[in-house]
Amino acid sequence: MSNNICAITYSDIPANEQYSAKGLKLLSPQLKKLKPLNLTLEEQREEAAARAGKMSIQGVQVKLSARLAVSAGEFKIVDRGGTYILKPAPAGYREVPENEDLTMRLAATAGIQVPVHGLVYAKDGTRTYFIKRFDRKKGKKLYLEDFGQLLGLAREVKYETSMENFANAVQKFTTFPAVESREFYLRTIFCFLTGNEDMHAKNFSLFSEDNQVFKLAPAYDLLNSTIVTSGKSKEELAVPLAGKKSKLTRNDLVKYFAHERLGLDQRAVEACFKQLKDAFPEWERLIQRSFLSEKMKKAYLELFAERCKRLQL
């Protein structure tokens, strides 16, 4: 099905196209075409390894910094000053770009703020995930500090913390803690429902556009990591909640985390659940329409159904 679908918007396109006009406009109003990346998947991995020390983006996953050359209609790989991050599939893991793009799309459907993102074809026909940097505006760097930095954690110990510490960071560092606590809870439940057991301290950030109002950054690095590892990981969270990372119950996520740790009342919790549930029909449509293989679509839907049942949604 995904052959005639825009890799940026999932809308229908003619058989000989790869992107819709609307999808290209999301990247730039002047963009009329988008050429394939001038690198194969293997070359992207090699390029990322060669540039790792020079780029202003870090992390375990393969990443390249790029800027969009609108008149040429292509992404250009750069060491500095990039406005996009490209993430080709990591070796040994299947369908990660397609999975991340879909999961980010599900988040947007549920009202979670995400940057412009999509899939771009490489010259060997593989797909690479791209996301626009939200911490750059007109060449200026905006305030962005991840929870690892806020909590004083070194990069290599990004898992050595807890959901309770994340909740404390939201309440301590955001300008409107009541609003952001609700948003943090929404994202926590979203990650639980979509099998993301890798939301460590580097994957949540505090953000400000004006250095006056500090809030949660737009969501990024959303991925159904459970199906990527074929369910081999028994963990459901990257860091513990109530001392555990798996076998989480509705009681853990509602009574303990929402009420006791985030200070949300039942009405706020129900509003979060309704916000997510209203998006469920669209989630199912998007999963079926996505660029995942039929096997991965099935695994995604099955995990989603199991998590809904556990939360009694």
Angle, nearest 10°, between helix axes 96-109 and 177-193?
130
Residues 18-41 have pLDDT tens digits of 999 999 999 999 999 999 999 999
The mean pLDDT value for 41-55 works out to 83
Pick the CATH number of 140-311 from 1.20.120.1730, 1.10.1070.20, 3.40.50.170, 3.40.50.300: 1.10.1070.20
Residues 129-149 have pLDDT tens digits of 999 999 988 878 999 999 999
pLDDT at 1: 44
> pTM to 2 decimals?
0.95
pLDDT higher at 309 or 91? 309
Residues 183-194 have pLDDT tens digits of 999 999 999 999
The mean pLDDT value for 301-306 works out to 97
Distance CA 104, CA 283 (A): 11
Residues 150-203 have pLDDT tens digits of 999 987 889 999 999 999 999 999 999 999 999 999 999 999 999 999 999 999
Distance CA 298, CA 69 (A): 38
The mean pLDDT value for 206-231 works out to 94
Give the domain ranges of the chain.
2-136, 140-311
**Which residues, including other chains, have CB under 8 Å from residue 125's CB and lie 6 or more apart?**
none
